[in-house]
Amino acid sequence: MTDVHAVAARTGADGEVTYSFTLPRDARSAGISRRAVTTVLNAWSMTGLVDDARLVMDELVANAADHAEGASIRVTITRTARGRVRLAVVDKDGRRPVMRAVGDDDEEGRGLRLVDELCDRWGVDPLPWGKRVWADMAVMS
């Protein structure tokens, strides 16, 4: 993971655990993010979420790589105290992603629909320098 600029882990007072890392805003970062999701969820014994979480993270990173600004993105994987996993990507572009209508022959535009289907909820937090796009998944027992 030579393209990873910084990795951090923190535990909040409420029991939330977050792994975060900075990556280049580049399509290759999706693969690094997928591997990180796999590693973290396996370490947390949440193997039932791995496949869907990898797809969601792939879409979030791909959207940032394709549409955001700036040289880097910040990726976070959080185990919340409320029994959820939150996947998020922070970028330096304030524009909100838009779920588009797509036709059967369209080759792009399905990413946010996939995120919407695989997650309990997703959203966008505006930040002074850009935005955070996040997706919450319920922990499977």
Distance CA 122, CA 99 (A): 12
Q: What is the pLDDT of residues 123-140, one digit of tens each?
A: 999 999 999 999 999 986
Give residue 3's pLDDT. Answer: 56
Per the structure block, which two tokens stand in for 119?
């997650």
Mean pLDDT of all residues in 68-84: 91
Single out the residue of 139, 120, 136, 141 nearest to residue 57, CA to CA: 136
Q: Which residue has the higher pLDDT, 105 or 56?
A: 56
Phi and psi at 83, nearest 5°, equal 70, 35
| Confidence class for position 8, pLDDT limits 50, 70, 90 | low
Give residue 102's pLDDT. Answer: 62
Structural domains in the chain, sorted by start: 6-138 (3.30.565.10)
Give residue 10's pLDDT. Answer: 67
Give residue 1's pLDDT. Answer: 43
Q: What is the pLDDT of residues 11-70, one digit of tens each?
A: 666 778 999 999 999 999 999 999 999 999 999 999 999 999 999 999 999 999 998 999
Range scoring the smallest mean pLDDT among 45-49, 79-83, 91-95, 136-140:
79-83
CA atoms within 13 A of residue 32's CA, in its CB half-sphere: 23
Kind and range of the H or E element at 135? Answer: strand 130-138
